C-alpha cells in the first residue's frame, strides 16, 4: 500500500487513470520519441523504492529505472521527449517534458511506481503551448510546477494529475527563469535565474510562497548569478550558481531562511571553475559538480568535489566521474548517484561514500542512453 493512501483511494485513482487512458496513450506517442520497443512491457515492480534515470542523447529520450540498492537498470523503458526531467514525491513519479525548440507543448506525466512499465496506467497533461517546465516539488497532495520565462507556478493534484490553480511570481515573464524549487514545511522555495536575452545580468532571486494562502511571503536577493540547483538542510538553503562569463559570479552560497540573509560559501574561482551546476547533500558533506568553461575551445570540463560544511573546505575531485551533470544522494543506501555524460563513457555511476570507489551501473536489455535527470521514488 502507498504511504498516505487507503485502498479506497487507490481504487478511485485506478478508475481515474483508466478514464484518461486514451489521452495518455495519444499524448505519450505524440510528445515522446519511439525508441526501445519496451513501451508496453507491463513490468510490475515489487518493493518500495526505485532509482529513476531519465536518459537522453538529445534526439531520443527514455525513462529507465532500477531498485535503489541495485547496480543494473531494468530492461523496461518509457519514451519521452529528449529534453525531459524526472521527479518523485509522496509515492508518485512525475516527468516534465519540454517542447522541442521551445515552440511545442510542454507536458506533465504522472506515473504509479509499482506500475511504471505499464504505459496505460500513466496519465499525461498538456501544460500549454510554448511552456518550458523546469522543476517540480510536492507538498502534501499538491504538486507545484515551475517554468522558464513564465511568471507563474502551475498547481496540480498528484493523485489524479489534474491541473488546478496557478500562483503568480513577483517578476516579469522575461526574467522569470525558475531553475529549482524545494519545500520547507508548507513554504515553497523558488529560485529564479533572472535572465535577460539568455544572459544573467542580475543576481538570482529566492521567492518564498505560502502554499496554504498561495501568496508570496517575501523575496530574498541572492549574491551569485544564474542559480542552477538547491539543497535544503536544517533551515539553510544551499544555492549552486554557474556563470560562464565570470567565475567570481558563480559558486555556492547559503541562505539562512530564519534571517533571510545569504552568504557566499565559495565562488567559482575558489572552486577552480565557473561555478556549480548540481549539488547533493550528505549530512555535513555537500557534493558539488564544478563546471569550467573554456572560452577558446568552447568546451566544458566538469568534476565532482566534496565540500566539508563543518570546516568549509573543498576536497579533491572524485575520480571516475568524467563529465557529471546531475547528482543525487540517497540517505537510505548511502550512495551518491552521478549522471556522467562524458563522450564514449556515458553512464550512470555510483559513488560509495564509505569506500570512495566509483562503479558503473549496467543495463539489462538494451543499452541505456546517456543519463540526464535523476530521482528516487519510495512508497
Domain with residue 14: its CATH number is: 2.40.128.630
Average pLDDT over residues 332-348: 94
Kindly tell me if the per-residue pLDDT of 153 is higher than 60: yes
- Phi and psi for 265 in degrees, rounded to 5? -90, -50
| Residue 272 sits in the same domain as residue 134 | no
Distance from C-alpha of 71 to C-alpha of 26, rounded to nearest angstrom: 33
Residues of the domain holding 252: 170-317
Asked if residue 104 and residue 3 are part of one domain, the reply reads yes
d(CA 355, CA 101): 43
pLDDT mean across residues, the chain: 87
Whether the pLDDT of residue 349 is over 90: the answer is: yes
Judge whether residue 14 has pLDDT over 70: no
Residue 181: pLDDT above 60? yes
pLDDT at 40: 41
56 domain-assigned = yes
Q: Residues 192, 168: contact at Cβ < 8 Å?
A: no
Once rounded to an integer, what is the mean pLDDT over residues 266-289? 97
Q: Is the pLDDT of residue 4 over 70?
A: no
CA dist 274 and 109 (Å) reads: 34
202 lies in the same domain as 92: no
Residue 176's pLDDT is 83
Residue 206 shares a structural domain with residue 163: no
175 and 154 in a common domain: no
- Residue 186 shares a structural domain with residue 263: yes
**Residues 212 and 155 placed together within one structural domain of the fold:** no
pLDDT value for 212: 97
- In this structure, of 39-48, 92-101, 370-379, the range with the lowest mean pLDDT score is 39-48
Which of these, 150, 235, 162, lies nearest to 192 by C-alpha position? 150
The pLDDT assigned to 195 comes to 85
Which pLDDT score, from 0 to 100, does residue 8 have? Answer: 31
Question: Are residue 78 and residue 42 in the same domain, yes or no?
Answer: yes
Query: What global pTM score does this model have?
Result: 0.87
pLDDT band at 9 (very low <50, low <70, confident <90, very high): very low
Given 272, 297, 317, the domain boundary residue is 317
If one compares 102 and 343, the residue with the highest pLDDT of the two is 343
Mean pLDDT of the region 19-30: 35
91-94 contacts, C-beta under 8 A, 24 or more apart: 91/2, 91/3, 91/4, 91/5, 91/377, 91/378, 91/379, 92/138, 92/158, 92/159, 92/377, 92/379, 93/50, 93/52, 93/375, 93/377, 94/136, 94/143, 94/158
Q: What pLDDT score was predicted for residue 317? A: 95
- The answer to whether 177 and 225 are in contact (CB under 8 A) is no
Domain assignment of residue 337, yes or no: no
User: Looking at residue 164, what is its pLDDT?
Assistant: 97
Count the domains in the chain.
2
Give the separation between CA 328 and CA 229, rounded to whole angstroms: 11
Residue whose grid cell is 519511439: 34
User: What distance in Å separates the CA atoms of residue 221 and residue 224, rounded to the nearest whole number?
Assistant: 9
Q: Distances from the Cα of 150 to the Cαs of 132, 140, 179, in angstroms? A: 8, 24, 11
Q: Looking at the structure, tell me whether residues 162 and 176 fall in a common domain.
A: no
Residue 221 above 50 pLDDT? yes
- Summarize pLDDT for 304-339 with one digit per residue, the tens: 999 999 999 999 999 999 889 999 999 999 999 999
Chain-centroid distance of CA 289 in Å reads 14
Q: Is the residue at 334 inside a domain?
A: no
Residues 12 and 151 in one domain: yes
- Residue 377 contacts residue 90 (beta carbons within 8 Å): no
Amino acid at each position: 500500500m502507498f504511504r498516505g493512501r487507503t485502498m479506497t483511494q487507490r481504487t478511485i485513482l485506478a478508475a481515474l487513470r483508466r478514464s484518461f487512458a486514451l489521452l495518455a496513450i495519444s499524448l505519450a506517442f505524440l510528445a515522446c520519441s519511439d525508441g526501445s520497443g519496451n513501451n508496453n512491457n507491463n513490468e510490475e515492480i515489487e518493493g518500495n523504492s526505485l532509482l529513476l534515470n531519465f536518459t537522453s542523447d538529445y534526439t531520443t529520450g527514455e525513462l529507465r529505472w532500477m531498485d535503489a540498492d541495485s547496480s543494473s537498470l531494468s530492461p523496461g523503458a518509457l519514451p519521452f521527449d529528449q529534453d525531459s526531467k524526472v521527479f518523485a514525491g509522496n509515492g508518485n513519479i512525475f516527468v516534465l517534458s519540454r517542447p522541442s525548440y521551445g515552440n511545442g507543448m510542454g507536458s506533465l506525466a504522472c506515473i504509479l511506481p509499482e506500475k511504471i512499465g505499464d504505459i496505460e496506467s500513466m496519465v499525461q497533461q498538456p501544460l500549454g503551448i510554448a511552456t518550458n517546465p523546469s522543476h517540480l516539488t510536492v507538498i502534501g497532495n499538491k504538486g507545484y510546477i515551475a517554468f522558464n520565462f513564465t511568471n507563474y507556478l502551475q498547481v496540480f493534484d498528484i493523485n489524479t494529475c489534474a491541473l488546478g490553480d496557478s500562483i503568480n511570481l513577483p517578476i516579469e515573464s522575461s526574467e522569470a527563469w525558475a531553475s529549482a524549487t524545494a519545500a520547507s514545511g508548507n513554504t515553497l522555495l523558488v529560485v529564479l535565474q533572472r535572465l535577460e536575452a539568455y544572459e544573467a545580468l542580475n543576481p538570482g532571486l529566492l521567492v518564498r510562497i505560502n502554499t496554504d494562502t498561495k501568496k508570496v511571503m517575501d523575496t530574498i536577493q541572492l549574491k551569485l548569478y544564474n542559480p542552477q540547483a538547491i539543497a535544503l538542510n536544517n533551515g539553510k538553503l544551499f544555492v549552486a550558481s554557474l556563470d560562464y562569463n565570470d567565475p567570481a559570479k558563480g559558486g555556492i552560497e547559503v541562505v539562512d531562511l530564519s534571517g533571510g540573509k545569504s552568504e557566499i560559501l565559495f565562488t567559482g574561482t575558489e572552486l577552480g571553475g565557473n561555478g556549480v551546476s548540481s549539488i547533493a547533500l550528505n549530512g555535513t558533506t555537500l557534493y558539488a559538480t564544478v563546471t569550467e568553461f573554456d572560452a577558446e575551445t568552447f568546451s566544458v570540463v566538469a568534476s565532482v568535489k566534496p565540500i566539508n560544511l563543518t570546516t568549509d573546505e573543498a576536497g579533491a575531485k572524485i575520480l571516475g566521474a568524467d563529465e557529471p551533470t546531475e547528482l543525487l544522494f540517497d540517505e537510505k543506501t548511502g550512495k551518491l548517484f552521478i549522471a556522467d555524460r562524458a563522450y564514449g563513457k556515458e553512464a550512470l555511476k555510483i559513488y560509495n561514500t564509505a569506500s570512495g570507489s566509483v562503479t558503473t551501473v549496467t543495463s539489462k536489455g538494451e543499452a541505456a542512453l546517456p543519463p540526464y535527470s535523476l530521482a528516487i521514488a519510495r512508497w
